[in-house]
Amino acid sequence: MKKFGTTIAGFGGQGVLFVGQVLAHAGMLEGNYVSWIPSYGVEMRGGTAHCFVTIAEKEVSSPLVEHPEGLLIFNKPSLEKFEPKAIKDGFLLLNSSLVDQEPRRSDLKIYKVPANEMAAELGDSRVFNLIMLGAFVKATGVVQVENVKKALEEIIPEKRKKLLPLNLSAVDKGVEAI
C-alpha cells in the first residue's frame, strides 16, 4: 500500500470522528504516516459529520482526501454527498440499516452491512460504528484488524475501559460480515 485515503461520514453523534481516530492510530501502529482531519461545526448538531484519514508509506503531502480510495458511509445524506468523489474501483462500505438507496455508481466495490441490527444483537446500538470499521478494514485491507483492536485499547479513556470487550466484539462482528 503506497497511500490510501478514506472518507468516513455520517450524522454528528454517530462516532464518525472516533472511527477515524482509531483507523489513523492503527495505521501508525503499522509504521505508516497518517493524517486525520475531522470536520467540526454544524455537523455536531445533526448534520453530516465527516473526517478524512490518509495512511501512507511516505509523508502525507496534503491531509485532505479529495478523491478517496475508500468511503465508510453511515447514512443516506453522506452517500449522496461523498459517493461522487470516490476513485474508480474504490471501496464503498454502506450501513444498510440507514441507507435504503442503491449507490449510483457501478465502478466501486460495494459492501452493505446492516450495522445497526448487528449492534442490537450485541446488546448496544452505539457500537454500530465499530462494526462498520471492522467490515471496512476486512474489505480493504488498509490496516490489520489486530492493529485496530490495539488502537482501541490505547485510545479508549480509562473511564470507558469497561466497554473495551464490547468494542472488540463489534470489530469482530464487522469482520465476519465481509
Model confidence at 78, in pLDDT bands (50, 70, 90)? very high
155-160: average pLDDT: 92
Cβ neighbours for 99, distance < 8 A, ≥ 6 positions apart: 73, 75, 76, 79, 112
Could you give the CA distance from residue 91 to residue 78 in angstroms, rounded to a whole number?
A: 15
Strand-pairing partners, residue 36, are 53
Report the run of H or E that residue 55 belongs to, with start and end.
strand 48-56
Model confidence at 40, in pLDDT bands (50, 70, 90)? low
Strand-pairing partners, residue 137, are none
The torsion defined by the Cα of 105, 62, 59 and 38, in degrees rounded to 10, comes to: -80
Does residue 103 contact residue 92 with C-beta atoms inside 8 Å? yes
Could you give the CA distance from residue 120 to residue 125 in angstroms, rounded to a whole number?
A: 5
Model confidence at 132, in pLDDT bands (50, 70, 90)? very high
161-173: average pLDDT: 97
pTM higher than 0.85 for the full model?
yes
| Greatest C-alpha distance within the chain | 44
77-97: average pLDDT: 96
Query: Looking at residue 44, what is its pLDDT?
Result: 54
39 pLDDT higher than 90: no
| Nine cell digits for residue 98 | 440507514
Does residue 26 contact residue 151 with C-beta atoms inside 8 Å? yes
Quickly tell me which residue has 473526517 as its cell. Answer: 51
Model confidence at 86, in pLDDT bands (50, 70, 90)? very high
31-55: average pLDDT: 82
For the chain, list the domains and their CATH numbers: 3-177 (3.40.920.10)
Query: Looking at residue 60, what is its pLDDT?
Result: 83
Nearest CA among 161, 160, 137 for reference residue 8: 137
102-129: average pLDDT: 96
45 pLDDT higher than 90: no
* Mean pLDDT across the chain: 93
